[in-house]
Amino acid sequence: MEVIGFAWKTLRRRKSAFAGAFVALLCAAALVCACLMLLETGLRGTVAPERYAGAPAVVAADQYVRETVDKGDGETKTKAKPLSERAWLPESVVETLRRTGVQVVPEVTFPFGSFTGHGWESAALTPFTIAAGREPGAGDEIVVDARAGLRVGARLRGYRVVGVTAQALPSQDTVFFSTAQARRLAGHPGLVSAAGVFPALSEAPKGAVVYTGEERGTLEFLDAEQARVKLISMGGALAGTSLLVAILVVVGTFALSIQQRQRELALLRAVAATPKQVRGLVGGEALLVGVLAGLPGAAAGIGLGLWLHATFVALGATPANLALVVSPFPPLVALLATVGAAWVAARVSARRLTRIRPVEALGEAALDSGRLPWWRLVAGPVLLAGGAVLTLVLSGLDTEAAATPVTMLTALVWTIAASVLGPLVARVARLVPLPGTSGFLAARNLRATPKALASVLSPLTLMVAMTCTILFTQTTMGHAAQNQAAAGTRAAFVLPGAPADQVRRVPGVEAVTPVLRTSIRVGLDKYAAQAITYDPRTIDLDVVGGSMDGFGRGSVALSRTAAGHLGLGSGDPVRLTLGDGTPVALKVAAVYSRGLGFGDVTLPYELVTGHVDDPAGTLLVSAPTLTRDALAKALPGTPVLDRAQAAEVGAANPQVTFVALGLIIAFTAIAVVNTLAMATSGRSRELAVLRLAGTTRRQVLRMLRLETLCAVLAAAVIGSGAALVTLAAFGAGMTGSATPYVPPMTYALVLVAATALALLSTSLPARLALRTRPAEAVSAS
Each residue's pLDDT tens digit, 457-510: 888 888 899 899 989 998 999 899 988 988 898 998 999 888 888 899 899 999
Q: What is the pLDDT of residues 216-249, one digit of tens each?
A: 988 988 888 788 888 888 888 788 887 888 777 7
Q: The whole model's pTM is what?
A: 0.81
Of 476-480, 658-662, 745-749, 763-767, which gets the smallest average pLDDT? 658-662
pLDDT at 297: 92
Answer positive or negative: Cα dihedral of 238, 239, 244, 250: positive
User: Quick one: 630 exposed, middle or buried, by C-beta within 10 A (0-12, 13-18, 19+)?
Assistant: middle
Q: What does the pLDDT average to over 316-341?
A: 87
What mean pLDDT is reported for the chain? 83
Three-state DSSP class for residue 637: coil
pLDDT at 620: 92
DSSP labels, 499-527: -HHHHHTSTT--EEEEEEEEEEEETTEEE
Residue 9 has pLDDT above 80, yes or no: no
Q: Where are the alpha helices (DSSP H) in 197-328?
A: 215-220, 222-260, 262-270, 275-314
User: Quick one: 100 exposed, middle or buried, by C-beta within 10 A (0-12, 13-18, 19+)?
Assistant: exposed
Q: Outline where DSSP puts E strands in 593-698.
A: 601-604, 618-622, 641-642
Answer positive or negative: Cα dihedral of 305, 311, 317, 319: positive
Residue 367 has pLDDT above 50, yes or no: no
Residue 668 has pLDDT above 60, yes or no: yes
* pLDDT class of 532 with cuts at 50, 70, 90: very high
Instruction: Please answer whether residues 601 and 557 qualify as being in contact, where contact means their C-beta atoms are separated by less than 8 angstroms.
Output: yes
Nearest-angstrom CA–CA distance, 563 and 93: 38
pLDDT at 6: 54
Indicate the DSSP class of residue 468. H
pLDDT at 366: 46
Residue 7 has pLDDT above 60, yes or no: no
pLDDT at 416: 86
Nearest-angstrom CA–CA distance, 167 and 50: 11
pLDDT at 1: 52
pLDDT at 272: 60
pLDDT at 436: 67
Residue 278 has pLDDT above 80, yes or no: no
DSSP-derived pairing of the beta strands 641-642 and 493-496: antiparallel
> When comparing pLDDT for 475 and 697, which is higher?
475
* pLDDT class of 652 with cuts at 50, 70, 90: low
Q: What does the pLDDT average to over 200-208?
A: 81
> When comparing pLDDT for 502 and 654, which is higher?
502
pLDDT at 651: 52
Nearest-angstrom CA–CA distance, 235 and 229: 10
Residue 350 has pLDDT above 70, yes or no: no
Q: What does the pLDDT average to over 543-561?
A: 92
Query: Which helix or strand (DSSP H or E) is residue 382 part of?
Result: helix 374-395
Of 16-25, 605-614, 726-735, which gets the smallest average pLDDT? 16-25
Three-state DSSP class for residue 298: helix
Most confident range (mean pLDDT) of 413-427, 579-593, 684-698 is: 579-593
Q: What does the pLDDT average to over 36-57?
A: 89
Q: What does the pLDDT average to over 427-454?
A: 63
Whole-angstrom CA distances from 563 to 284, 488, 521, 595, 664 are 57, 19, 13, 11, 35
Q: What does the pLDDT average to over 82-87?
A: 91
pLDDT at 259: 66
DSSP-derived pairing of the beta strands 141-144 and 130-133: unpaired
Nearest-angstrom CA–CA distance, 40 and 34: 10
Q: What does the pLDDT average to over 53-61?
A: 91
Is there a cis peptide before residue 199, judged by omega within 30 degrees of 0?
yes
Q: What does the pLDDT average to over 343-359?
A: 65
Instruction: Please answer whether residues 70 and 76 qualify as being in contact, where contact means their C-beta atoms are separated by less than 8 angstroms.
Output: yes
Give the domain ranges of the chain. Answer: 1-47+223-367, 57-222, 393-482+654-781, 498-637
* pLDDT class of 358 with cuts at 50, 70, 90: low
Whole-angstrom CA distances from 170 to 51, 110, 130, 575 are 10, 18, 18, 40
Tally of CB atoms within 10 A around 436: 12
Indicate the DSSP class of residue 540. -
Nearest-angstrom CA–CA distance, 700 and 738: 45
Instruction: Please answer whether residues 130 and 143 qualify as being in contact, where contact means their C-beta atoms are separated by less than 8 angstroms.
Output: yes
Q: What is the pLDDT of residues 116-139, one digit of tens each?
A: 999 999 999 989 999 999 999 988
Residue 633 has pLDDT above 70, yes or no: yes
Rounded to the nearest 10 degrees, what angle do helices 275-314 and 655-681 cross at?
A: 150
Q: What does the pLDDT average to over 644-660?
A: 66
Tally of CB atoms within 10 A around 373: 13
Q: What is the pLDDT of residues 157-174, one digit of tens each?
A: 889 999 999 999 988 899
Residue 749 has pLDDT above 90, yes or no: yes
Q: Under 8 Å CB-to-CB from 631, ≥6 apart: which residues?
A: 493, 506, 508, 509, 621, 623, 640
Q: Under 8 Å CB-to-CB from 514, ≥6 apart: which residues?
A: 500, 532, 533, 605, 617, 618, 619
pLDDT at 437: 66
> When comparing pLDDT for 145 and 42, which is higher?
145
* pLDDT class of 703 with cuts at 50, 70, 90: confident
